[in-house]
Structure 1
Amino acid sequence: MVQQVTRGIKISVKTNFEGTLLRSPDSRFAFSYHITIENQSNDSVQLTSRFWEIKDALNHTEIVKGEGVIGQKPVLKPGESHTYQSGCLLNSPFGSMSGYYNMVSFTSTQKFKVKIPTFKLSAPFAVN
């Protein structure tokens, strides 16, 4: 598990290899990730959007931007957390993801970014 705290918002990430999709002529490698967003600050906050940079071992980079996470824009009061699961497909059995969430504080109405720590994606059969 990888974790990081930005402005009192803790991001925890667990990953899992889900399998290989075999399609002629290419194979794709499926990964899931489970993210917990925990509000350790004294302010209520809302996640408004996300930014992802997904890289594979073949130097392919995909940028993903969007509103909320999994169709939701969770509001977190102090001490609350939100957990969700998503996934990605890579062209190689190794890769990584990193990014940030755009958040807004209800106390100050200030917008801020919460870093999502870089996490590795690797198929167990390909581990060296």
Structure 2
Amino acid sequence: MNTPEAPTTPYCIEVSAKAEYVASQSRPEDEHYVFAYHITIRNTGSEPAQLISRHWVITDGNGKMQEVHGQGVIGEQPLLAPGESFRYTSGCVMETPVGTMHGSYQMLARDGHRFNANIAPFMLAMPRILH
């Protein structure tokens, strides 16, 4: 029995994130912990879409939240055709050796439709701090 192919959603952006601790820029004695995060944004929809802006929520180990809003990412507003990916690296500073980040990208499809691409929470952690 043949199963019908799932219809392609016109507006679908997948985001994956990987974080790493930057020891060379961190100063634990001053509660200054630096993390780099590597992001891959992939258009899995059927409509070209441009990343217009970003919204990040960064929460440290004490529950202190920082919100970051801004245009584009690393000075760019990439336009992704269906199947295309965009990769970049950025960073953040926290007062604790452990925290989390999550957020969303605000996207604009070629047909004028605006939508959010959600960024699932990911961990920021100094090595050997978590079991």
TM-score, normalization by structure 2: 0.86
Match of 1:111 among 97, 111, 114: 114
Match of 1:21 among 13, 26, 29: 26
Q: Which has the higher strand share?
A: 1
Tell me what 2:104 maps to: 100
Match of 2:46 among 11, 26, 42: 42
Larger radius of gyration: 2
Tell me what 1:123 maps to: 126
**Divergent runs of 4+, >6 A:** none
Give the C-alpha shift of residue 45 in structure 1. 0.4
Q: Which segments of 5 or more consecutive residues in structure 1 lack a partner in the other structure?
A: 1-6
Amino acid at match of 1:21: S
The share of aligned pairs that are identical, in percent, is: 38
State the superposition RMSD in angstroms. 1.4
TM-score, normalization by structure 1: 0.88
Q: Deviations over 1:31-83 (max 9, x none)?
A: 11000000111111000000000000012110100000000000001111100
Q: Which segments of 5 or more consecutive residues in structure 2 lack a partner in the other structure?
A: 1-10
State the secondary structure of the residue aligned to 1:85: strand
